[in-house]
């Protein structure tokens, strides 16, 4: 079945990610959170990006802060806290992103045209998913 295949392959993709970030010594959830920070972000927007509960982001941000990778700054709306990369955080994020990209080159045996097909189909699927298409 299609779903089962998708899940197996995604598991491999996750394992790839884990391998790629392992050398940096960050637990996977922290690595994911760090990579989410392409710009200063509220706790909530991080939660949305990671598809998790905001309460969970609190812990992630705490740990990134302990490691000196981010700081929290109050936003204009003072309920909001902006999570901002420190220079060290920025630098680590760059290096990690590159490692993930290099390591993540998917499916070297799949020819380029097939990969384009795959991307198109996946895009369509994600779109359906966002629109909540019944399946």
Binding stretches for DNA (CB under 7 A):
27-29, 42-45, 51-59, 61-62, 72, 75, 77-82
- How far is the C-alpha of 44 from the C-alpha of 58, rounded, in Å? 10
Using the minimum distance from each CB to DNA, give the nearer residue, 73 or 117: 73
In the block, tokens 């392409």 appear at 38
* 75 sits in which H/E element: none
- How far is the C-alpha of 40 from the C-alpha of 2, rounded, in Å? 38
The helix/strand count (H/E) of the chain reads as: 6, 3
Using the minimum distance from each CB to a second copy, give the nearer residue, 31 or 81: 31
What values do phi and psi take at 68, rounded to 5? 75, 25
Using the minimum distance from each CB to a second copy, give the nearer residue, 55 or 109: 109
Structure tokens at 49: 């990006």
> Of DNA, a second copy, none, which one does residue 121 interact with (CB within 5 to 8 Å by kind)?
a second copy
> Of DNA, a second copy, none, which one does residue 40 interact with (CB within 5 to 8 Å by kind)?
none
Residue 3 C-beta: closest distance to DNA, Å? 15
Query: What residues make contact with a second copy under the rule CB under 8 A?
Result: 1-14, 16-17, 51, 101, 103-110, 114-115, 117-126, 128-129, 133-135
What are residue 72's DSSP bridge partners? Answer: 83
> Of a second copy, DNA, none, which one does residue 104 interact with (CB within 5 to 8 Å by kind)?
a second copy
């Amino acid at each position: 079945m299609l779903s089962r295949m998708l899940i197996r392959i995604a598991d491999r993709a996750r394992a790839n990610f884990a391998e790629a970030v392992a050398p940096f010594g960050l637990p996977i959830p922290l690595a994911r959170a760090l990579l989410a920070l392409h710009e200063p972000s509220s706790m909530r927007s991080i939660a949305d990006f990671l598809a998790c509960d905001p309460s969970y982001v609190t812990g992630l941000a705490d740990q990134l802060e302990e490691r000196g990778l981010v700081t929290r700054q109050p936003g204009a709306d003072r309920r909001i806290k902006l999570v901002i990369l420190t220079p060290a955080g920025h630098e680590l994020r760059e290096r990690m992103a590159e490692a993930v990209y290099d390591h993540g080159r998917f499916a070297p045996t799949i020819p380029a045209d097939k990969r384009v097909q795959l991307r198109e189909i996946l895009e369509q699927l994600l779109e359906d998913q966002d629109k909540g298409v019944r399946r």
